[in-house]
């Protein structure tokens, strides 16, 4: 196993750089663009759920807000996409900060219901403000991003664009998780009262991580809008919030690389499950149940444990140190 | 050091504390005893900002801290341990103590995400100091164990190490000997004395009378939410009211 954080990260970057060569010419490179976007989203939710222990059933809303702000302001109003992307992230972050104070006072089921409500409200707004968002039929004509002479107009270019941002998010998230702040978040998760006694301002920190999570989600949304050139409300509904939750749980709560594994699995699977048509949701349900029963720590912890068990099985009788 | 003035706490119809006043002197070990339900834990919860009191005031070194939230008090030099151990059970023993240094470190979210040089240096200091506190309570060999897997007695020691990592001026301990065997209780008594030697004032809620009489400089007795008596261990042992409150129990 690779232990040192920097080695792990370097290995991850190398993997991401190799993928375009392996998938040369395949449509799967396009799928990998969405793996990148979903990785960002899963990390965002994981910081909140896996680290701070606060659930959100409305995270698709922050993703959608980023996507629609970028879409509407660039396609309809012709503003600079990069500026809009940053402004949207700041705006969505502020919104999360403001609603975070009342919402994150709630715990457990109540918090789940409040975030669910928020997600539904935003979804309805996307659908109903037809003049601005185009309503249920969506908003098209969103321009590709451009950087000087380079236009991000192909799958491969979008792959690099999205993954540069994703790798940055991974790095920052890994650093944050392995720091004084990451420790405080996990402390809140285990015992909020003890964390407070140790001087952790639990209420503020929860709101801050909620806002950070929203900022990352909004960035992912902006990238999504520009790579797809089209957005519709259906991508940002309750179903997608649940899918994000599934990615985080299947990948591994409280593990940044686990979020990548979860995003990878849940984004690739539909490509291989097309023959199931509408029954793929049944497969997800089964997958989630099986995972929770047999790998409650998620893929990121389950797979190494499985490998270890297979190794020790083969070398029966030898002692293995943990 | 610490002064509690006329504190009263009512839960619905239950008066858990009724006009309780006392002082804790600097550098002393002050015991708070009383039968089950006397209001000892409630008193701690009010002093440490976890409950907001119905009436009364709490002063820490002449500063009015009544109504301050719990998270403000660590940096003012006051921490506590819990009757029902409150560990960060999914974190390692070392990480638990590292959280104890939260109030004495300051890298923010951005600096941590960017891994700034001073953050790395601070992290190194946090780790070294946390290790030293684990050595102080004698569980340094368990540093990498997940706290949830600790035996009960070691968990109590970890709570003490974590609280001491805040470098408090006053430490409140809620029944630290509960669930310990006699060997462990002796070790705990030694540690509490060592804490006092470091200049930390200690307030100790405890049912183990032998321990209380042995290490406390002064004792406050609560009964049914009221202060029944106050004095040296000797005075308390001879107080007829205290004896009748504990009816028949050996003091
Ligand atoms: N949060 C609360 N809500 C309602 N009643 C409470 C609450 N906390 C404590 N009480 C009541 O206040 C009284 C004092 O409780 P407290 O826990 O302070 O006693 P204690 O002296 O710590 O007892 P023990 O020795 O058993 O720990 C009890 O009657 C208890 O039921
Ligand atoms: Mg109690």
The whole-angstrom separation of Cα A277 and Cα A268 is: 15
Phi-psi map region of B56: left, alpha, beta (phi>0 left; psi -120 to 50 alpha): left
Atom of ligand 1 nearest to the CA of B42: 18
Task: Identify the burial level of B28 via C-beta atoms within 10 angstroms of its C-beta, where 0-12 means exposed, 13-18 middle and 19 or more buried.
Answer: middle
Nearest CA to ligand 1 atom 9: B42
Q: How many whole angstroms from B225 Cα to the centroid of ligand 1?
A: 9
Mean pLDDT of chain B: 91
How many domains are there within chain A? Answer: 1
User: What stretch of H or E contains B8?
Assistant: strand B2-11
Kindly state whether residue A165 falls inside one of the protein's structural domains.
yes
pLDDT at A18 over 50: yes
Encode pLDDT of A227-274 as tens digits: 998 999 999 998 899 889 999 999 999 999 999 999 999 998 888 877
B10, B15, B32, B41: which to mutate for ligand 1, most atoms within 8 A of CB? Answer: B41
Confidence category of residue A150, pLDDT binned at 50, 70, 90: confident
In this structure, the strands spanning B29-33 and B201-205 are: parallel
Contacts of A179 in chain B (CB under 8 A): 107, 112-113, 115, 119, 123
Give yes or no for a contact between A65 and A213, defined as CB atoms under 8 angstroms apart: no
Tokens 């720091």 locate to A179
- Give the torsion sign (CA, B145, B149, B155, B157): negative
Tell me what pLDDT residue A210 has: 97
Q: Is the CB of B40 under 6 A from ligand 1?
A: yes
A181 touches chain B (CB under 8 A): yes
Which residues have their alpha-adjacent CB atom under 5 A from ion ligand 2?
B 40-41, 83
Does position A313 have pLDDT exceeding 70, yes or no?
no
What pLDDT, on a 0 to 100 scale, did the predictor assign at position A192? 95
What is the pLDDT at residue A319? 39
In the predicted model, is pLDDT for residue A153 greater than 90?
no
pLDDT in tens, B134-158: 999 999 999 999 999 999 999 999 9
Average pLDDT over residues B101-126: 93
How would you class A148 by CB atoms within 10 Å of its CB: exposed for 0-12, middle for 13-18, buried for 19 or more?
Answer: exposed
Question: Tokens 């048509």 appear where?
Answer: A277
What pLDDT sits at residue B248? 56
A47 DSSP assignment: I
Reported as a pLDDT band with limits 50, 70 and 90, residue A318 is: very low
Q: What pLDDT band is residue A3 in, cutting at 50, 70 and 90?
A: low
Contact, B90 vs A52, CB < 8 A?
Answer: no
Domain boundaries along the sequence of chain B = 2-86+168-247, 88-149
Residue A257 domain-assigned (yes or no): no
Average pLDDT, chain A: 89
DSSP letters spanning B164-217: HTT--SEEEEESTTTT--HHHHHHHHHHHHHHHHTT-EEEEE-S-HHHHHHH-S
Residue of minimum CA distance from atom 11 in ligand 1:
B16
How far, in Å, is the centroid of ligand 1 from the Cα of B30? Answer: 20
More confident of the two residues B250 and B239: B239
Considering A90-99, B178-187, B233-242, the range whose residues carry the highest mean pLDDT is A90-99
In a domain, A48, yes or no: yes
Q: Which residue has the tokens 């409630």?
A: B42
**A301: in domain:** no
pLDDT over threshold 70, residue B247 = no
CA nearest to A142, candidates A33, A232, A219: A232
Going edge to edge, which strands form the sheet with B29-33? B78-80, B170-174, B201-205, B29-33, B218-223, B226-231
- Mutation pick from B41, B81, B91, B115 vs chain A, by most beta carbons of A within 10 Å, is B115
Taking contacts as CB-CB distances below 8 angstroms, the residues of chain B near A196 are 50, 69-71
For chain A, what percent of residues have pLDDT higher than 90? 63
Q: Choose between B74 and B245: higher pLDDT.
A: B74
- ipTM over the 0.90 cut-off: yes
Q: Output the pLDDT for position A42.
A: 97
Facing A199 at nearest CB: one of B71, B108, B126: B71
**What residue of A is the nearest CA neighbor of B164?**
A198
Of A190, A197, A212, the CB nearest to B89: A190
Whether A316 is in a domain gets the answer no
For residue B238 the two structure tokens come to 């001879």
The yes-or-no verdict on residue A314 having pLDDT over 90 is no
pLDDT confidence of A300, banded at 50, 70, 90? confident
The pLDDT of residue A317? 41
Strands (DSSP E) contained in B81-180 are 170-174
Instruction: Provide the domain limits for residue A134.
Output: 5-240
**B34 C-alpha to center of ligand 2: Å?**
10
Instruction: Taking residues B112-130, report their average pLDDT.
Output: 94
Q: Is the CB of B36 under 6 A from ligand 1?
A: yes
* Superfamily (CATH) of domain B2-86+168-247: P-loop containing nucleotide triphosphate hydrolases (3.40.50.300)
* Residue whose structure tokens are 């451009």: A146
Identify whether A300 is part of a domain: no
- pLDDT of the residue at A53: 94
């Amino acid at each position: 196993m690779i232990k040192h954080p920097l080695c792990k990260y370097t290995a991850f970057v190398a993997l991401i750089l190799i993928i375009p060569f392996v998938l040369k010419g395949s449509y799967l490179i396009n799928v990998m663009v969405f793996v990148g976007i979903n990785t960002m989203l899963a990390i965002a939710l994981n910081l909140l759920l896996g680290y701070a222990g606060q659930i959100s059933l409305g995270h698709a809303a922050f993703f959608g807000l980023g996507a629609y702000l970028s879409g509407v302001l660039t396609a309809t109003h012709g503003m600079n996409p990069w500026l809009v992307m940053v402004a949207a992230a700041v705006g969505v972050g502020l919104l999360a900060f403001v609603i975070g104070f009342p919402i994150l006072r709630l715990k457990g089921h109540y918090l789940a219901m409040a975030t669910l409500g928020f997600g539904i409200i935003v979804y309805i707004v996307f659908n109903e403000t037809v003049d601005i968002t185009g309503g249920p039929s969506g908003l098209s004509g969103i321009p590709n991003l451009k950087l000087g002479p380079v236009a991000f107009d192909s799958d491969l270019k979008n792959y690099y664009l999205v993954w540069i941002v994703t790798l940055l998010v991974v790095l920052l998230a890994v650093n944050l998780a392995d720091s004084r702040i990451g420790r405080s978040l996990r402390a809140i998760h285990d015992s909020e009262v003890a964390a407070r006694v140790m001087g952790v301002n639990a209420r503020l920190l929860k709101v801050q991580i909620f806002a950070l999570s929203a900022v990352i989600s909004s960035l992912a949304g902006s990238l999504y809008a520009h790579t797809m050139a089209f957005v519709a409300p259906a991508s940002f509904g309750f179903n997608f919030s649940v899918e994000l939750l599934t990615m985080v749980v299947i990948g591994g709560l409280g593990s940044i690389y686990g979020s990548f594994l979860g995003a990878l699995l849940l984004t690739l699977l539909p490509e291989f499950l097309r023959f199931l048509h509408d029954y793929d949701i049944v497969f997800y349900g089964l997958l989630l149940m099986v995972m929770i029963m047999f790998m409650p720590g998620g893929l990121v912890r389950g797979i190494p444990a499985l490998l270890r068990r297979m190794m020790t099985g083969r070398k029966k009788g030898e002692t293995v140190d943990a | 050091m610490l002064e509690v003035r006329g504190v009263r706490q009512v839960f619905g119809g239950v008066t858990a504390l009724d006009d309780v006043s006392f002082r804790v002197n600097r550098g002393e070990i002050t015991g708070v005893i009383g039968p089950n339900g006397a209001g000892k834990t409630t008193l701690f919860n009010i002093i440490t900002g976890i409950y907001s009191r119905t009436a009364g005031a709490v002063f820490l070194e002449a500063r009015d801290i009544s109504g301050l939230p719990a998270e403000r008090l660590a940096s003012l030099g006051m921490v506590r341990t819990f009757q029902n151990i409150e560990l960060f059970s999914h974190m390692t023993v070392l990480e638990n103590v590292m959280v104890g240094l939260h109030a004495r470190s300051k890298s923010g979210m951005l600096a941590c995400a960017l891994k700034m040089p001073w953050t790395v240096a601070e992290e190194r200091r946090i780790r070294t100091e946390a290790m030293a506190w684990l050595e102080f309570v004698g569980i340094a060999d368990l540093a990498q164990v997940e706290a949830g897997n600790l035996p009960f007695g070691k968990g109590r020691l970890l709570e003490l190490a974590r609280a001491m990592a805040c470098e408090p001026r006053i430490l409140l301990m809620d029944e630290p000997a509960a669930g310990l065997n006699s060997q462990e209780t002796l070790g705990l008594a030694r540690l509490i004395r060592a804490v006092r030697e470091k200049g930390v004032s200690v307030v100790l809620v405890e049912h183990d009378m032998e321990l209380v009489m042995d290490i406390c400089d002064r004792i406050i007795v609560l009964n049914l939410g009221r202060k029944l008596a106050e004095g040296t261990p000797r005075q308390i042992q001879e107080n007829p009211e205290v004896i009748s409150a504990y009816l028949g129990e050996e003091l």
